[in-house]
Every structure is written in structure tokens, then in C-alpha cells.
Structure 1
Amino acid sequence: MELEKIKELLDKEPEDAVDEILADVEKRYGEIPYITNFMKDMPEIFISRMIYENSVMREFKRMDPKTVELISIAVASALRCEHCLKTHVRVAKRLGVSKEEIFDSVLIASSVSTAAVLAEGTRSVDNAFADEEQGVPSSANCSICNINSELPEED
């Protein structure tokens, strides 16, 4: 969001600024997402959050809106946020994103999510068995949860 636009918005009465932002969101998304609607009665939080969100999600100059929505779909999928996922799929469809492109972003999210689980899990397994194999006494582990908090060195 351009600085001049932000200044104009901040100079308005809170209710007018909220109404302007809501109209812009509905125009761009074709709907007002639940979180946006929920926060509209809290202008002190809503306005600053929406200025930030507009700068990233709707007025991002280095990526086109379809790419932003595909990333949003991938992240919502990875985080398993059903509500965000449904919203961003609807918006992507309105922007002309194909079912196959949407599915590809879900597949990418799935692959990265799986890699994250594997990375964390295998490091934990290596760490647990490295102590045993190196003869490190169990007292080297956390006295509260009995887990060594040190991760193995990365190569």
C-alpha cells in the first residue's frame, strides 16, 4: 500500500476507514473473509492489520495476484487451515486459476510439509540414539523432560 494512501486512510474517521477497506477487500476478493469481518468492529486493530495485509496480499508489486493466491493455498494446506484454504481457493477460481494449478500448489505444500516432518523426526531419532551410541549418560538429558535439547551438528 502506497504511503500516501496509508496517510489518507489514517486521517479518516475510524468507521470511514473501515468501510473503505471492507469495500476494497470485497472488490478484490469478491467476498469479505471471516477474520476480516470479525475484526471490523475493532478499528484500532483492524486498520493497522489491513494496511499490512493489503501491502502484502493485495498490492504486492513483485508477484501477480494468481501467484499470491497459489502461495496462500499452499500455506493454508500445509497449516491445515480449512477456512483459509476454502477462501483462497474461491478467490483463485475467481482469478481464473485452474483446478490443476491449485492442485499443484497443494502437492508442493504436501511435499514440503512431509519433508519438514521427516527433518524434525529424523534429527530427533539421531539425537536420541547418538547419546546412547557415544556412551553419554542419561543425566546429560533435560532433568524435567529427559530430552537432550541439543540438535546434532549439521554437515
Structure 2
Amino acid sequence: MKPENQKTIDEFLSRADEMGDDIIAQTEEWLGVVPFIFTLMRERPEAFALSVLGDYHTARPASLDPKTAELVAIAAAAGAGADNCVRVHIGTALKEGATRDEILDTILIAGIIGKTHVLAPALRAFRDRLPEADSLSTSPKNRS
């Protein structure tokens, strides 16, 4: 790494503990709660600052308005089975102007993808193990 870049990183990391306090306060204002993972990650100020600042900028891209970003976060959290994250991001989506219907539809769409996540590999395994099953699904009498 170039010395000037290393110097910039070192200066940044020298303020990691102070930034951590700011990050916690900003997160609580943004989400209305501080995720428990933040309290534990905070024990490593440098890693915490680097990780969470990157996450924040990823979660709030310039290309999406905050409400849309929160709906995406709900869908991703639902798909990942992160129930507490779903709850937190529902609250934040409401704060950003999302309606009940928008949130419900977001969760339902995530559910469709979740169903596909289960069915696609299982049905591929089924087809591969029982190839004659594939020919049955394409026979003219089974198309209706």
C-alpha cells in the first residue's frame, strides 16, 4: 500500500473509538434501536467502524430513496430468516413513509422467492435422480 494511503487509514482508525460512539447514536436515531450485534462488535472499535460504515453506505445507496431501501432490507431480512431485523426494518420503513400494504407485499414477495429457494434445488435433484419424471411433466396430457 502506498504510504499516503496507509497514513490516511491509520488516521481514520485512530479515531475509531470516537466514531463508534457516533455510529451507535446515529444507528439508534435511524433504526430506533441499537442491534445487539453492534454492542458486541463495538468491543473491536477498528473492525466495528470499518464494517458498520460500509454497511450504512450500502444500505442507503444514492440510487434508492430511504423507503425503498427499507423495503429491500425487509425482503432480505425475511429471506435470511432474520426475524429481529425484519421487525427493526418494518419500524424504520414505517418511519420512512411505507404503508402497511407495501410492507405486507414486500414480505409476500420475499416468501415467493423463499419458496423457490426450497423447490428449485429439490426439484432439480428429483429430476436428476428420476429422469423419467421430467418426461412426464412435458407430455401433452399433463400440460393442462
Fold conserved between structures, TM > 0.5: yes
**Gap runs ≥5 in structure 2:** 1-7, 133-144
- Decide whether the 8 Å contact of 2:17 with 2:46 is kept in 1: no
- Report the Cα distance in structure 2 between the residues aligned to 1:50 and 1:41, rounded to whole angstroms: 13
User: Which residue is equivalent to 2:69?
Assistant: 68
Structure 1 segments, 4+ long, off by >6 Å, are none
- Report the Cα distance in structure 2 between the residues aligned to 1:63 and 1:36, rounded to whole angstroms: 25
Residue 126 (structure 1) shift: 0.5
Q: Which has the higher contact order (CA 8 A, sep 6+)?
A: 2
User: Which residue is equivalent to 1:23?
Assistant: 25
TM normalised by structure 1 equals 0.72
CA-to-partner distance for each residue in 1:90-120, whole Å, 9 max, x for gaps? 1112222111111000010011111222211
Q: How many percent identity over aligned positions? A: 28
Decide which structure has greater helix share: 2
- Report the Cα distance in structure 2 between the residues aligned to 1:68 and 1:33, rounded to whole angstroms: 18
**Gap runs ≥5 in structure 1:** 1-5, 132-155
- Report the Cα distance in structure 1 between the residues aligned to 2:83 and 2:29, rounded to whole angstroms: 23
- Report the Cα distance in structure 1 between the residues aligned to 2:131 and 2:103, rounded to whole angstroms: 42
1:95 and 2:87 correspond:
no
- Report the Cα distance in structure 1 between the residues aligned to 2:13 and 2:45, rounded to whole angstroms: 13
TM normalised by structure 2 equals 0.77
User: Which residue is equivalent to 2:135?
Assistant: none
Count of paired positions: 126
Amino acid at match of 2:24: L
